[in-house]
Amino acid sequence: MNKKVMTLFLAIASLGLVSCNSNDDETGIVIDGIDLTKDVDCCSAEEALQVYKFIQTVKIIPELSTEVDGKYEVWAYTKTGTLHKGYNDLYFVVTKKKTGNYVKYFDIKNITPLMHMVKMDMWHSTPVGSTFEVFDTTRPAVKQGWVSLLMNTSDAGSWQFSYDIEVLGSKGGVQKQAIKVDALPDGQDWLKNFKIGDDTYFLSLVNPSDWKTGKNTIQAYVSKKSNPITTPYALATETFTIEIDPRMPDMGNHTSPDNTPLVKQKDGSYTGNINLTMTGLWRIHLTVRDAEGNIVAGGDDLKDGFSSLYWDVTL
C-alpha cells in the first residue's frame, strides 16, 4: 500500500513541477483545458521546485492523507512517515487532482489526537500546537504544526487522529483514524510533566535527534492539561523560565559549560542553549521557575542532588 501511495504521489509531484509554472508566462500553459497562467492558487515554478525538494526530506503518513471533494489530494508527512512518543513535526501539502499543481490556500484545523486507555475505558488528548502555518515563505504550499504524544501505542492504549481541512472552499478531513505511535529508543525521553496545584503541565522537547556535539539551540513547549481532557492541550498562558543542568550519568555525572535557560519567545516556544561536549547519554535536569522567579517544579524533589524532572537525550 505504501509503495502504491508513493508511486502515485511522485507521479503527481512530477506533473506539478512541469505544470505549476509562473503565472506570468506569456506563452500560456494549458493542460486538460485549464490555462495555468490563470491558476492563481498554484505555486510559481520556483516555489513548486522548493516544495518538491522539501518533500524529498520527509515521508508520507498514508493513514492521515486523504481526498477532498474529489478535487484535491491532501498529503500528511513527518520526517520518518511515522509518529512517536513526544514531540512530532507534522506537515501538510495539497495538490489538485486534475493538474497535480500544489495549492497555496488551505487551512488545517481541529487537530485532535485521542488515546483510549483500555483498563480505565477512558479517553484523553495530548499537547497540540496552536496553529498549522507556512513555516518557510519559499514553500508557501507546505504547512507545519506539531503534536506531542503522551504515550506510545501498547496493550494499555491505542490512538486515533482527527483533523479538518478547507481547500478553496471545499471541506473535508480525517475523522477518528486509527494510527500507531512508536516508543522512543532507550536513552531518549523527551516529554515530562509537572504539577502546580491542581494543574498539570507538559514539557515537550523539540527534535533533540537533530543535535550535534557542541553548542545547540534547545527548544521546548509548555502545554497545560485541558478540561475536559479530551480537548487537545493548548500552550500554557503562564510564563516560566526553565533552567537546565545537563549531566552524563554514565560518566560520573559531569556537566558542560555555557548552557543558558529556556525563556519564552513570542511564538510561545521556549528557547535556550545547551552545550554537549561528547556523544552518549545526557540527562538534562530541569528547574522550572514562574514569572516571579519562584521554583515551581524540579527544585524540591532532588534525587542524588539533582532534579528528578529531566529529559534524556542520547547523541
DSSP per-residue string spanning 233-248:
BPBPSS--EEEEEEEB
- Dihedral over Cα of 269, 81, 165, 47: its sign: positive
Residue numbers of the domain that contains 158: 2-182
Residue 172 sits in the same domain as residue 130: yes
* CATH code, 172: 2.60.40
Domain end, chosen from 148, 182, 216, is at 182
**Is residue 27 scored above 60 in pLDDT?**
no
User: Does residue 68 contact residue 171 with C-beta atoms inside 8 Å?
Assistant: yes
Instruction: Please identify, among 158, 182, 206, the residue that sits at the C-terminal boundary of a domain.
Output: 182
Q: Tell me which residue of 84, 88, 91, 104 sits closest to 60, measured CA to CA.
A: 91
Provide mean pLDDT across the span 247-257.
96
Strand extents, DSSP E, 180-264: 181-182, 191-196, 199-205, 214-224, 241-247, 260-264
Distance CA 111, CA 90 (A): 11
Give the model's pLDDT for residue 299.
78
Which tens digit of pLDDT belongs to each residue from 130-146? 999 999 999 999 999 99
Does pLDDT of 37 surpass 70? no
Q: Is the pLDDT of residue 265 over 50?
A: yes
Does the pLDDT of residue 43 top 90, yes or no? no
Give the pLDDT score at 35.
47
pTM score: 0.88
For the residues 235-251, what does the mean pLDDT come to? 97
Query: Does 156 share its domain with 210?
Result: no
Is the same domain home to 21 and 111?
yes
Q: Is residue 135 helix, strand or coil?
A: coil
Beta bridge partners, 14, equal: none
Q: Which pLDDT score is estimated for 281?
A: 98
Query: Percent of the chain, pLDDT > 70?
Result: 86
Same domain, 200 and 169: no
DSSP 3-state of 115: strand
Q: What is the mean predicted confidence (pLDDT) over 48-65? A: 96
Is the pLDDT assigned to residue 52 strictly greater than 50?
yes
Q: Which of 205, 189, 229 is nearest to 146 (CA)?
A: 205
DSSP H helical segments within the chain, as ranges? Answer: 2-19, 45-55
Q: How confident is the model at residue 41 (pLDDT cuts 50, 70, 90)?
A: confident
Residue-level pLDDT at 301: 64
3-class DSSP assignment, residue 218: strand
Q: Which residues are CB-contacts of 239 (< 8 A; sequence separation ≥ 6)?
A: 264, 290, 291
| Gap between the terminal Cα atoms of the chain | 34
The SS3 call for residue 22 is coil
Which pLDDT does position 39 carry in this prediction?
63
Which pLDDT does position 1 carry in this prediction?
47
How large is the average pLDDT for residues 24-44?
54
CA-CA distance, 296 to 292, in Å (whole number)? 10
The overall average pLDDT reported for the chain is: 89
Q: Is the pLDDT of residue 236 over 80?
A: yes
- Same-domain status, 101 and 168: yes
C-alpha cell recorded at residue 35: 490555462
Q: What is the pLDDT of residues 277-290, one digit of tens each?
A: 999 999 999 999 99
Asked if 218 and 256 count as a contact pair (C-beta separation under 8 A), the reply is no
Of 36-40, 80-84, 87-91, 190-194, minimum mean pLDDT range: 36-40
Q: Are residues 219 and 152 in the same domain?
A: no
What share of the chain in percent tops pLDDT 90?
A: 82
Q: How far apart are CA 34 and CA 37, in angstroms?
A: 9
Q: Are residues 124 and 18 in the same domain?
A: yes
Q: Which residue has the cell 501498547?
A: 154
Domain's final residue, options 161, 182, 203: 182
Tell me which DSSP letter residue 249 carries: G
**59 and 170 share one domain:** yes
Domain count, the chain: 2
